[in-house]
Amino acid sequence: MRTAASLVLGLLALLVSTTSGSPLSDERFAATLLPEHSLRFTEPQLCDPSVKQLSGYLDISDTKHLFFWFFESRNDPENAPLVLWLNGGPGCSSSTGLLMELGPCKVNEFGNDTIPHPHSWNTNANIIFLDSPANVGYSYSDSVLDAPTTTPATAVDVWTFLTLFISRFPKYASLPFHVAAESYGGHYAPHIAHTILEKRAEYPTLPEINLKSIVLANGLTEPLSQFEELPEWACESEWALWDTDSKECKDFRAMVPAMRQLTKACYASNSRVACVPAGFYAFGRMYGVIRQTGLNHYDVRRECEDTESGTCYPELRLIDAYLDRTDVKLALGALPDREFKGCNMEVNQKFHFQGDVMKNSARLVPDLLNAGIRVLAYVGNTDAVCNWMGVEKWMEKLESKFQVEFALTRRVPWFTKDSKLAGSVRAAGAGAGEYAFVKVHDAGHMAPYDQPEATLDLIQRWLADESLV
Ligand SMILES: *[C@@H]1O[C@H](CO)[C@@H](O)[C@H](O)[C@H]1NC(C)=O
């Protein structure tokens, strides 16, 4: 992937020419090793007209065009942190985070407009919502062969995007930067952070991404521990689906040894051949047990309302309808003839067929901690897809500079600033924690959707490095 890196060399000698008279700015960046980068962006007035916005495409190579929608903070944007938000899938657009969970607006009940969101994370943060990798959401590639089908390749493209973004918009370059990623983003975020550190050493003259933390939001990061704990969560947790002595629990637990053997082989070789079978077993058979209940596997308090699409939330179809509107695409500088789909299942399948899904992304975390990058994992407790017990377990097991301190620490209640009990927190290190686990009460996979006030409290305090206890 050295070519992707070389694209941005020489970016400091930035050459910008803007097409005048068009609301859509079409710029070309001159770079030393590759002739130019294109940036086509506009300043939309949708969603949250109270703040400055940017949206459009940044071409991170000749063939790959990544769509972003950026919102300044509602308060003090000059000093507020910069956050990159990614949803998971793999293959899903950040539109879910933007229009259903934590963005400045939500899609309305008809899917033809938006309504303001008072608890948006842009209350105190500048946020980039990025459709990643290429071919997800509005992002696209001219050559299918070129588009990433693994997390490491995706991370390099995101790094290229970020480097170009802060080069073109330097007022955001010095702000503290955080990567927050949900679900499959539990794989993405550690890789993106690690890539940022690697590239900093490799290309010291490029503008530096001021990385401070990663936030794993109901993330899949270390599949072995997380699938080991799935039957425990389903049989022992406060949201258990079955009695612990039931046949269901006995059968579910009986799947663990096979999963463990396959996943250990995957971890040992980190190869496609070893990891694909582990993925089929865990995603097919073990998630299959949960799916068969007919419950919403993202939030077992609910039935799966939209079984047709398997996504369980009617909002997701409304988001697709909204972002597929021609007027919206034009307002955002997105390609009007590209059909918007929240999730690209071809991209999803490709990641599965690379064995990417079962690889161990937690192995990158110790390097991040050693480099002073803070790590937060929060998990809604009613989520079956990324159960909280599995996340706490991998964090306990991980051999890092915080292992002993984390082992000696117990979860303590987390009260929001207005004194509501919102969950519990277990943190090692200074401040809000340098290595922290948060269990969010009465929240599913999309915790900000279920608990907007509590998760805003959490993210504000994490970004400001203020303790939750
Ligand atoms: C959205 O759809 C509803 C119901 O059809 C309609 O009443 C409303 O005017 C529409 N709004 C926009 C902005 O098109």
Nearest residue by C-alpha to atom 3 in ligand 1: 110
pLDDT tens digits, one per residue of 44-69: 999 999 999 999 999 998 899 999 99
Q: Which of 47, 112, 325 to mutate to test the pocket of ligand 1 (most atoms within 8 A of CB)?
A: 112
Instruction: Classify 219 as helix, strand or coil.
Output: coil
Nearest residue by C-alpha to atom 7 in ligand 1: 110
pTM for the model stands at 0.92
Q: Is 46 in the pocket of ligand 1 (CB under 6 A)?
A: no
Secondary structure element (H or E) that encloses residue 367, with its range: helix 365-370
Taking 60 as the threshold, does the pLDDT of residue 6 lie above it? no
Q: Is 113 in the pocket of ligand 1 (CB under 6 A)?
A: yes
- 294 — pLDDT class (breaks 50, 70, 90): confident
Instruction: Classify 390 as helix, strand or coil.
Output: helix
- pLDDT value of residue 16: 34
Q: List the one residue out of 365, 380, 374 whose CA is nearest residue 438.
A: 380
Q: Which of 107, 113, 114, 324 to mutate to test the pocket of ligand 1 (most atoms within 8 A of CB)?
A: 113
Considering the candidates 59, 157, 356, 383, report the single residue annotated as catalytic: 383
User: For residue 180, how far is its CA from the centre of ligand 1 (angstroms)?
Assistant: 33
- pLDDT value of residue 305: 74
User: For residue 102, how far is its CA from the centre of ligand 1 (angstroms)?
Assistant: 24
Considering the candidates 25, 61, 120, 183, report the single residue annotated as catalytic: 183
DSSP state string for 382-449: T-STT-HHHHHHHHHH--STTHHHHHH---EEEE-TT--EEEEEEEESSTT-SEEEEEETT--SSHHH
Catalytic residue flag (residue 383): yes
- pLDDT value of residue 115: 98
Catalytic residue flag (residue 139): no
Q: List the one residue out of 339, 355, 211 whose CA is nearest residue 277.
A: 355
Catalytic residue flag (residue 38): no
Q: Is 112 in the pocket of ligand 1 (CB under 6 A)?
A: yes
Q: List the one residue out of 235, 216, 226, 242 whose CA is nearest residue 86.
A: 216
Alpha-carbon span 374 to 215, nearest angstrom:
9
Instruction: Classify 320 as helix, strand or coil.
Output: helix
pLDDT tens digits, one per residue of 75-118: 999 999 999 999 999 999 999 999 999 999 999 999 999 999 99
* Distance between start and end Cα atoms, the chain: 43
- pLDDT value of residue 182: 98
Highest mean pLDDT among 5-19, 200-214, 380-394: 380-394
Ligand 1 atom index nearest CA of 113: 13
Nearest residue by C-alpha to atom 12 in ligand 1: 112
User: For residue 91, how far is its CA from the centre of ligand 1 (angstroms)?
Assistant: 30
- pLDDT value of residue 36: 59
